[in-house]
A and B are shown apart, each in its own frame.
Chain A
Amino acid sequence: DGGITQSPKYLFRKEGQNVTLSCEQNLNHDAMYWYRQDPGQGLRLIYYSQIVNDFQKGDIAEGYSVSREKKESFPLTVTSAQKNPTAFYLCASSIGGSRVGELFFGEGSRLTVL
Chain B
Amino acid sequence: AQSVTQLDSQVPVFEEAPVELRCNYSSSVSVYLFWYVQYPNQGLQLLLKYLSGSTLVESINGFEAEFNKSQTSFHLRKPSVHISDTAEYFCAVSGSGGSYIPTFGRGTSLIVHP
Contacts and interface: CB of A to CB of B under 8 A. Distances in A.
Interface residues of A, number: 24
B101 A101 contact: yes
Tell me whether chain A's interface is mostly helix, strand or loop, or mixed: strand
B107 A103 contact: no
B106 interface: yes
Contacts of B104: 35, 42-43
Interface residues of B, number: 24
Contacts of A8: none
Contacts, number: 58
Interface of A: 4, 6, 33, 35, 40-43, 45, 48, 90, 92, 94, 96, 100-108, 110
Nearest to B51: A100
B34 A101 contact: yes
B95 A107 contact: no
Interface of B: 9, 32, 34, 36, 41-46, 49, 51, 90, 92-95, 100-102, 104-107
B101 A43 contact: no
Contacts of B95: 100-101
B100 A103 contact: no
A110 B100 CA distance: 27
Given A40-B9, A42-B90, A96-B100, A102 B43 contact: no
Contacts of B43: 4, 6, 90, 92, 105-108
B90 A48 contact: no
